Structure 1
């Protein structure tokens, strides 16, 4: 900027000899000085930025969905939430009949509905009975089935929340829109069957919802369990009560994030370095530790995906790093806008209006994507309701409502005194 200004002034000198003389002086002395100063300013800016140790991005959770046959068992960074999802499911007649006899939900299968959350909520709010059939070793059997919400994957996210607390890591809402679209198919009515009859195939007709039905779908995330042994023997911690267990991360890769998956009483705190994880624990014996590796996701290693890859990662801005480091919130509209825009997931929408009401009842969409946190929050006596209204920057797909719910859940975590709700304009 300064160089351009200097040369602009030179061009305004009418005396060509003086212009040439000044140009030689400026080019020989001042230009090099300006370049040096700009280079020093840039290095200072990088140093300040890098001093904000951004460990948060090592614990970003990425998520997507694949058909069972497309899941890569040796993928670098995407793994099934439940490893058993990649196995062929078999229905055992005796177990099915036992559940029916005890008047318990007899689950046949799990399906995925590729539709927005409003459709699923409407379907679950008004229970429907659908026709189905079992192809058995004794012939075709007509049955009636119903649908209930599948909570298996939400429970896995709840477990991860507890693990983050044990490891002393701040929690961010998991942006996994697909896990909220799985439904369990349960038997409502079934004719008598012999226990030795084999069920070979199950078919169901969801009528107007049939177009959304997907079978054998597997939700993925970038979390993989590992078992790691101590590097040597534990040695007494500085408090002379607990012991330090050192785990090497060289084999599994130190570029990833790691958390200890164990009981709370086994960990006092965890220390992290570039190549090691040190667990301060009352356990004095050497042994094996279960780690969860939160794999670093690199675009070139992802491969072909059938559905979008989403995450709870933030944009790499200095203010977001500073806010994360200090962990302080300012209750202003600007802070809400900054929080929302800090997430990469917010690139497809824009917050246009914030209203605060005295009403306690929800005024907009409030999909409880973290019921294990909402249970704690509902104990608060909310004084007001905060309604956040958004517009979409692109055509809304079937996960748009779930992304909106993810952002609302993050705002709710920071503004506990309000009941936060959101809706599209």
Structure 2
């Protein structure tokens, strides 16, 4: 605008009129132009300051630890279920009432350290096992059955809903441990009618016969997600639409290097903006002192602590081609593109995609299982989908990861399933 004014003034031949117009423009219009330019620069800077959330900031890391070794001040790992930090309690009164109603009751949850196919074979057999409840009164024989635990899988589903609220792309969670937890369910007892409901259960034990060596009690799955109650950095200010309000959450105290997801009622969130120093929530709420936020902590190396179980993640090690493809939102539907997508994950180390084949609809192979069953597809009919068979080979696998091979395969296949929803993706070993 200043250039236009300068050009018009230079074209005026009458110097007196040029002086009068120059004084007029300098005194009135030039201040308005400078004010408008300042506002434009502020808007431009605000757009540049909005950092596109890096995918690495939302990588999820999962491991396992015994309850007695749980570190409440760990640098980046927290229990998936906070209540797991306390020992599981069984109330004899509840167990007795369940038996009287001939209903099954969950006694406790434990981890099975075995391969996924062997575990599924056990669960599908519907076998019963014998156990014992010890109280101050005496010992009581019980009969139990094992069922797959859904407590931790439900937490992953909740995380998916939060990703949707924050308008962020979803990646499958590589958490093989959560699919190996089972619930011990009470199904019967020879002397259940004689139980004294006032007594406290001192000890509870079961014997899984030939599967006893796989049983691991008092184990807790950990991940790098912490639930926080964050307060706003000041009063909400009206948004640019003059309808909603902007609530700013400062991140300096909790760490700007981590990822953050805002959780709350969807009707209270219009959209969320992340900058380097804070999170801005645009909401119709005029007043809100605090917001529930999930902090996805970045992994840090610790010199004191140690991990007894492998640390799994959905982290990628992409190069330029992968980052450019994700930015453009385009994909080349070829075997090479599928191989690039698979081998971008650290979880694919030691695995090699050998072949991709599309076959007619039919029964599943049963080796892999879906990790994103909660992601619904309302457009396609599952039974009519052609099957995409992904064949893998393995090499250089560490012994401690042998029981997780089918789980890692399921994770990689689930990621391809998200990219190719028109097929039913399955994996198998060559």
TM-score normalized by the length of structure 1:
0.85
Mean Cα displacement is larger for which, 178-187 or 302-311? 302-311
SS at 2:302 equivalent: helix
Partners of 2:162 and 2:262 within 8 A in 1: yes
Matches within 5 A, 1:45-64: 55-64=54-63
SS at 1:412 equivalent: helix
1:92 is matched with 91
2:102 is matched with 103
- Aligned CA distance change for structure 1 residues 386 and 164 (closer, same or farther; 3 Å): same
Q: How many residues align?
A: 374
Mean Cα displacement is larger for which, 99-108 or 402-411? 99-108
2:426 is matched with 421
Identify unmatched segments of 5+ residues in structure 1: 1-51
Partners of 1:336 and 1:411 within 8 A in 2: yes
Identify unmatched segments of 5+ residues in structure 2: 1-50
Partners of 1:235 and 1:245 within 8 A in 2: yes
- Aligned CA distance change for structure 1 residues 67 and 391 (closer, same or farther; 3 Å): same
Partners of 2:76 and 2:297 within 8 A in 1: yes
1:41 is matched with none
- Aligned CA distance change for structure 1 residues 229 and 301 (closer, same or farther; 3 Å): farther
How far the C-alpha of 1:382 sits from its partner, in A, is 3.7
2:308 is matched with 306
Among 239, 249, 260, the residue aligned to 1:258: 260
TM-score normalized by the length of structure 2:
0.84
2:120 is matched with 121
2:134 is matched with 135
C-alpha distance in structure 2 between counterparts of 1:315 and 1:416, whole Å:
24
Partners of 1:270 and 1:277 within 8 A in 2: yes
C-alpha distance in structure 2 between counterparts of 1:140 and 1:206, whole Å:
19
C-alpha distance in structure 2 between counterparts of 1:377 and 1:367, whole Å:
21
1:33 is matched with none
How far the C-alpha of 1:378 sits from its partner, in A, is 7.1
C-alpha distance in structure 1 between counterparts of 2:388 and 2:212, whole Å:
37
- Aligned CA distance change for structure 1 residues 261 and 103 (closer, same or farther; 3 Å): farther
SS at 1:399 equivalent: helix
Mean Cα displacement is larger for which, 369-378 or 64-73? 369-378
C-alpha distance in structure 2 between counterparts of 1:121 and 1:228, whole Å:
42
1:76 is matched with 75
2:177 is matched with 178
How far the C-alpha of 1:299 sits from its partner, in A, is 2.6
C-alpha distance in structure 2 between counterparts of 1:219 and 1:340, whole Å:
25
C-alpha distance in structure 1 between counterparts of 2:281 and 2:100, whole Å:
49
SS at 1:296 equivalent: coil
SS at 1:300 equivalent: coil
Among 367, 370, 376, the residue aligned to 2:369: 367
Report the aligned-residue RMSD: 1.7
How far the C-alpha of 1:104 sits from its partner, in A, is 2.9
How far the C-alpha of 1:54 sits from its partner, in A, is 6.8
- 1:265-321 CA-to-partner distances (Å, cap 9, x unmatched) read 111110011110000111110311011100010233683111100100000411221
Mean Cα displacement is larger for which, 302-311 or 409-418? 302-311
